[in-house]
Amino acid sequence: MNDPSSASPFVPNADKFICSVLPNSPTKLISYSKGGLLLKPVANDLQVVTAYSFLLVVYAQYMQAANKVVNCGSVSASHSTLINLAKSQVDYILGSNPLGMSYMVGYSQKYPQKIHHRGSVNPSLDQHPQRMGCRDGDQFFKSDSPNPNVLVGAVVGGPAQDDSFKDSRYDVGQSEPTTYINAPFVGVLAFFNSNPSLVGKRKKSTKQRQRRGAEQAENDQRLRGPVVAEPPSPPEVLVGVGFR
């Protein structure tokens, strides 16, 4: 890839893609919400956000190795530009957004409680050992209560274009986690995890740290279940379960 003669048509097409995504590019084809989320006219927008973020960090590594910049008319982008854009999308997904909502289930204090996922909605065998018929799960789907099983790590479809979010099982586009949302996000997180110097840390005040600690303790207690004389089994925590 260091030889320009062997790069066609990959590099020119990749450069055009980058120019279509950058917020300040004169040839931008993508819009952004007021909160900073990349937008495409699809039902579950985070499938685009996670996929584009993955492409950004992959191409950024090539640009760095090739000592390359992307020229979009009057705007030039370095590999750092791409990484910063991808990081802004990761930050949004994990809670740096107008709602303060993490769209990864089980991450942070505020995350979707009523996701559209059969294994998360229906009670576990510990809680409901009786056989369930074909429509017996309807009562749990229609419940106003949070899902009994926390699908830790699952990223849902995400907010609407105005940064709003309906925490509702009925809104499949916003509340359903899918493999095609989560798979590229794993790659993006793996990149930042292996490059910790690229992840800025915000200094928190004492009050913020105390509030965060209290929120975490409350969240941990919710996951463990209520403390009573004979406590029921805690909510089932599902990790690595296939979506749908």
Number of residues assigned to the chain:
244
The two structure tokens encoding residue 243? 């979506």
d(CA 174, CA 121): 16
The amino acid sitting at 127 is: Q
Verify whether residue 116 is a known catalytic residue. yes
Tokens 């909605």 locate to 121
Q: Is 121 helix (H, G, I), strand (E, B) or coil?
A: helix
Measured between its terminal Cα atoms, the distance across the chain in Å is 39
Give which of 158, 137, 159, 157 is closest to 148, Cα–Cα.
137
| C-alpha to C-alpha distance for 84 and 18, rounded to whole angstroms | 13
**Radius of gyration for the chain, computed over Cα atoms and rounded to the nearest angstrom:** 21
* Paired sense of beta strands 38-39 and 70-72, if any: unpaired
What tokens does 171 get? 């809104």
179-194 and 46-65 helices cross at what angle (nearest 10)?
40
Which residues are catalytically annotated? 116
